[in-house]
Structure 1
Amino acid sequence: MGKTTGFLEYARIEEGHAPVAERVRHYREFVIALDDGQAQVQAARCMDCGTPFCNSGCPVNNIIPDFNDLVYRQDWASAIAVLHSTNNFPEFTGRICPAPCEAACTLNLQDAPVGIKSIEHAIIDRAWDEGWVQPQPAARKSGKRVAVVGSGPAGLAAAQQLARAGHAVTVFEKNEQVGGLLRYGIPDFKLDKGHIDRRVAQLQAEGVVLRTGVLVADAQAGLGADSRVTNGARETLAPAQLAADFDAVLLAGGAEVSRDLPVPGRELKGVHFAMEFLPQQNHANAGRKPKGQILATDKHVIVIGGGDTGSDCVGTSRRQGAASVTQFELLARPPEVEDKPLVWPYWPLKLRTSSSHEEGCEREFAIATKAFTGERGRVTGVQTVRVQWQDGRMQEVPGSEQTLRADLVLLAMGFTGPVPAVLQAFGVEPDTRSNARAGTDAAGGYATSVPKVFAAGDMRRGQSLVVWAIREGRQAAHAIDAFLMGRSDLPR
């Protein structure tokens, strides 16, 4: 432990942000990371608890007290070795993870957890700057071939682990570039796509083959209208071909089917899914501006859905120059501070204000959408009603109906699961939530109902966090390696 009394002597240090007036004028990252001295002080606050709840709060089980101690001692090279031992892509989680580890930190009982996420961010950025992140090709080849379908964080994490185990790995991605939701869903101001590109270069140097523009599905059925993520496929590959060419197949696509809102007026122009809106701006930022781009410029925007995707819509709308932005949440306004004795060390229900909210947004809680109104086929308003919750049931509040002006409505209510056509094409049995049915037990973990076909990430567990996707990819890689070789030395 670096400094025994550090948690008594030092206050929590937050990462800085560029001023709102400045950052809404561009799509670049605006978080000001901790410098070496600030990271050292923040790491000194770690209590080195006898039972480090932060470890179990982190889905990839990062060895947090250890890398905190190493940062305090300024041994950055050892710190990145510890961090990489559990997390393939800390530059992603250090930027976009909501940090359940901090919610589980013992110091969170006093509302001042160690800034674990900011320390992780500092470690990986320092590692890239120093040239410590290098390809790690396998010393021996196994002679086994593995296909990974989907290049989001689950697919990339699995591909890297399997390649390091000596397997010949090919990743198939239907879009024109690798990254999945990291590239097409998360705004550039939260995650610069250069972070994806340099990891892709590392994977390729480790022997991973990346085939983009390839849709793995029934050639006649395709994906249908269920896929809300941009599809830039140039060719279609039948699942049977993968089964014939590879020793194992991992399905690591996302939960791409957006939850719809089937109310009167849904057909009006100007009502869009968030995943129609967000990828277009990312394409434009990359110099590939789409035709007929959905823009919030000078419009009154209503975002329906109070989660991270909704927040991303808020920040993007602000940067496009929206006249106003209002975000709806069906649930009641949560408390400012959670009941810590009741919920700690678990992820609490509390009011969370994102950087996008700080940029200008009206937030409406306990509000339901009844209908969309319009003129000449285009949306002009949203009919709403206030709701109250009793015994887990929603009831409308009589006399609370109103119509709010809207020139653009963005549906950001989450995702219901993977595209059914993909599972059907492989013949994979779905679970009760329409995800691929596959367990996580040590024996036969992540295996689907189809021989030698595995599933991981959002396709298996449903909509979740990037850090959960990385965990699933790593664990699925362990399971596949054991399936191919009879045993596995890969960490889970």
Structure 2
Amino acid sequence: MSTPTGFMDYKRELPADRDPLERIKDWNEFHKHFNEDQLRTQGARCMDCGTPYCHTGIEMTGGTSGCPVNNLIPEWNNLIYRGLWREALDRLHKTNNFPEFTGRVCPAPCEGSCTVGLIGDAVTIKTIESAIIDKGFEEGWVVPQPPLMRTGKKVAVVGSGPAGLAAAAQLNKAGHTVTVYERADRIGGLLTYGIPTMKLEKHVVQRRVDLLEAEGITFVTNAEVGTNVPAEQLMNEFDAVVLCGGATKARDVEIEGRDLKGVHMAMDYLNGTIKSYLDSNLTDGNYINAEGKDVIVIGGGDTGTDCVATALRHGCKSITQFGTHAKAPLKRDNDKNPWPQFPNVYTLDYAQEEARALYGEDPRAFSVLTKKFVGDSEGNLKELHTVQIERTVDETGRKVYKEIPGTEKVWPADLVMIAVGFEGPENTLIQKLGLEQDRRSNVKAAYGKYQTSVEKVFAAGDMRRGQSLVVWAINEGREAAREVDRYLMGTSMLP
């Protein structure tokens, strides 16, 4: 333990973010950073619990508690307190291939299960994690480490998101020759196309990709396996194939007026903006522009929040975000939402904070159901019709939404983004390989084993488990690599 009374002596503090009204003028990362003394103080708040729930990732009541990659959090908190940054980096990399990603975009279920949170405010784990890896790169400690020997085995990884990159990194470390196929024009999957640059600047992704390439991994872009790259080619040329294509089939809505001009899927909106920004700093105009428009985002999750932030940077006229869920309480309900579950409390994410600073209020409308879209005579969207709803649970435990009479409302809208989740992976490659699927259409493969119904084909990440967190994708990529290594070699030294 850094200091036995640290959690009592020091208050939880977070670095101040950039001013909301300033940061919406650009696409740069919105976080600021602590200096080493401030980080040392925050590290001192860690209790080094006898049973540290922070690094035991489990799923509870539909959410995640603790860290799915089992980060050795108390250990590197103590090392930071003692000023041993290089050693802290080594401990961090022992469990997490990409802490620069999780330190920026993970919702930090580790903090939700921090024992200090039982009696006060949790340790600032995510901030410390991000600082460790950033310092590692700044000091030149993060360098390519290619394997000393090659096994002669070849592995293809399909998809270059967090699961694919983690699987590739681990398999390469084991000495296998790894080729990663990515259908987009840039490597990174949702890390590149999906997460806006203000949350994860793309040079951070490219820096890690360059490192993996220097370690011997081959990356092939514009390669959609099952379309312009035959699936049979991979089966014939490689000793094992790992599918990490994600759950990219977006869920649509069946609402009157869905075909009106101005109604778009959220990922089309986000990805178009990201690509245009990377290609031309938005000068090519190849994206859906929210400038000067009344914008509504349907969906209260992270994707919807990213749409809000993007629309603000485009210069929208107004922004509203609909959610069917009720407004969360200000404090944790210890009866319905006890520790170490992830705390379900009212918070402002970065985009809502920006909208409030610009327009004076939280842009979210809670317990709202969209009934129909209405357009003008030329087929352009002009308004939305909604009704308030309340959620109940029937005798079978099923959630039931009931409309509240008299709460109908009409909202002006020129542009709508649909961000209501994902239905699972796209089926083209799955069908080409003849893979079994589970009831949710994901590739059927047991957690911890990752072997599909087809010999030498494995699956990991969202393609296997459905839409989830980046940190779960890294967990599955690492574990799948271990199982592939065992399949190829009869045993494995990978964690």
Report if TM-score (shorter chain) is over 0.5: yes
CA deviations 1:156-181 (Å, max 9, x no partner) are: 01101000100000000011110001
Q: Which residue of 1 aligns with 2:383?
A: 381
Cα separation, 1, equivalents of 2:46 and 2:19: 30
- Whether the 8 Å CA contact 1:33–1:121 is kept in 2: the answer is no
Please state how far the C-alpha of 1:362 moved relative to its aligned partner: 1.8
SS in 2 for 1:286: helix
Cα offsets for 1:29-57 (capped at 9, x unmatched): 02011211111000000011111010111
- The amino acid across from 1:129 in the alignment is E
For residues 300 and 125 of structure 1, the distance between their equivalents in structure 2, rounded to whole angstroms, comes to: 39
Q: Which residue of 1 aligns with 2:373?
A: 372
Contact 1:70/1:76 (<8 A) preserved? yes
Structure 1 residues 247-294: Cα deviation after superposition (integer angstroms, max 9, x where no partner) = 000000111111101111000010001101001111122134465521
Please list every run of at least 4 consecutive aligned residues from structure 1 whose deviation after the TM superposition is greater than 4 angstroms: 289-292
For the 8 Å contact 2:158–2:242, the answer to whether it is kept is: yes
Q: Whole-Å Cα distance in 1 between the matches of residues 70 and 290 of structure 2?
A: 40
- The CA distance in 2 between the partners of 1:415 and 1:210, in whole Å, is 27
The residue type paired with residue 352 of structure 1 is T
Q: Return the offset for 1:110.
A: 3.1
Distance in 2 of aligned mates of 1:422 and 1:338: 43
Equivalent position to 1:265, from 248, 254, 257: 257
1:116-159 Cα distance to aligned partner (Å, 9 max, x none): 00000110110000001111111111000000000001000110
Instruction: Please say if residues 272 and 286 of structure 2, whose CA atoms lie closer than 8 Å, have aligned partners that are also in contact.
Output: no
Query: 1:230 corresponds to which residue?
Result: none
Deviations 1:361-386 (A, max 9, x none): 52111110111001111111111011
Gaps of 5+ in 2: 57-65, 356-361, 394-398
1:301-312 matches, cutoff 5 A: 301-312=295-306
- 1:125 is paired with a residue whose SS is helix
Question: What is the CA–CA distance in structure 2 between the aligned matches of 1:167 and 1:136, rounded to whole Å?
Answer: 14
Amino acid at match of 1:334: A
Q: Identify the residue that residue 251 of structure 1 maps to in structure 2.
A: 243
Counterpart residue number, 1:316: 310
1:212 correspondence with 2:221 = yes
Match of 2:95, SS? coil
- Superposition deviation, residue 401 in structure 1: 1.2
Distance 1:339 1:394 in 2: 22
Moved more, 67-76 or 329-338: 329-338
Query: Match of 2:61?
Result: none
Contact in 2 for aligned 1:248/1:452 (Cα 8 Å): yes
Alignment partner, residue 345 of structure 1 = 340
Q: Relative to structure 2, which stretch is displaced further, 172-181 or 344-353?
A: 344-353
Matches of 1:84 and 1:390 in 2, distance apart? 44
2 CA distance for matches of 1:262 and 1:239?
33
SS at the partner of 1:395? strand
SS in 2 for 1:67: helix
Residues 1:111 and 1:268: Cα distance change in structure 2 (over 3 Å): farther
Provide the residue aligned with 1:446 in structure 2: 450
- Determine helix, strand or coil for the equivalent of 1:215: coil
Shift of 1:111: 4.3
Which residue in the other structure is 1:327 paired with? Answer: 321
User: How far apart, CA to CA, are the structure 1 residues paired with 2:9 and 2:334?
Assistant: 23
In the alignment, the residues of structure 2 paired with residue 37 and residue 398 of structure 1 have an alpha-carbon distance, to the nearest angstrom, of 57
In structure 2, do the counterparts of structure 1 residues 321 and 111 end up closer, same or farther at CA, with 3 Å as the change threshold? farther
| Among candidates 186, 191, 196, match of residue 200 of structure 2 | 191
Q: Secondary structure at 2:446's aligned position in 1? A: coil
Contact 2:276 2:286 in 1 (8 A): no
The aligned counterpart of 1:458 is: 462
Q: Match for 2:154 among 122, 133, 145?
A: 145
SS in 2 for 1:393: strand
- Once the two structures are superposed, the pairs formed by residues 29-428 of structure 1 within 5 Å of their partners are 29-56=29-56, 57-217=66-226, 219=227, 236-288=228-280, 289=282, 292-340=286-334, 342-360=337-355, 361-375=362-376, 376-391=378-393, 392-428=399-435
Question: 2:468 aligned with 1:476, yes or no?
Answer: no
Give the match for residue 227 of structure 1: none
Say if 2:381 and 2:413, in contact at 8 Å, map to a contact too: yes
CA distance in 1, matches of 2:49, 2:143: 33
1: CA distance, partners of 2:34 / 2:231 = 47
Query: Could you say what secondary structure the match of 1:31 adopts?
Result: coil
Shift of 1:340: 3.3
Distance 1:199 1:362 in 2: 35
Q: Deviations over 1:74-120 (max 9, x none)?
A: 10000000000000000000011000000000111234100000000
Q: Which residue of 1 aligns with 2:11?
A: 11
Name the CA distance, whole Å, in 1 between partners of 2:196 and 2:120: 29
How many angstroms does 1:387 deviate by? 0.6
Q: Is the 8 A contact 1:248 1:453 kept in 2?
A: yes
Residue 33 of structure 1 aligns to which amino acid in structure 2? H
Check conservation: 2:252, 2:418, Cα contact below 8 A.
yes
- Mean CA deviation greater in 394-403 or 66-75: 394-403
Q: How far apart, in 1, do the equivalents of 2:322 and 2:40 lie?
A: 40
Assess if the C-alpha contact under 8 Å between 2:290 and 2:311 holds in 1.
Answer: yes
Q: Is the 8 A contact 1:92 1:191 kept in 2?
A: yes
Aligned partner of residue 373 in structure 1, secondary structure = strand
Q: Secondary structure of 2:224's match?
A: strand
Q: Which amino acid aligns with 2:4?
A: T
User: What is the TM-score with the length of structure 1 in the denominator?
Assistant: 0.94
Which amino acid in the other structure matches residue 25 of structure 2?
A: R
**Does the Cα contact within 8 Å between 1:296 and 1:408 map onto a contact in 2?**
yes
Q: How large is the Cα RMSD of the aligned pairs?
A: 1.1
Structure 1 residues 281 and 111: CA distance shift in structure 2, 3 A:
farther
CA distance in 2, matches of 1:324, 1:282: 21
**Alignment identity in percent?**
50
How far is 1:339 from its partner? 1.7
Q: What is the alpha-carbon distance in structure 2 between the residues aligned to residue 440 and residue 240 of structure 1?
A: 26
1:229 corresponding residue in structure 2: none
SS at match of 1:124: helix
Contact map agreement 1:109 1:340 (CA 8 A) in 2: no
Contact 1:252–1:455 (CA under 8 A) maintained in structure 2: yes
Q: SS of the residue aligned with 1:327?
A: strand
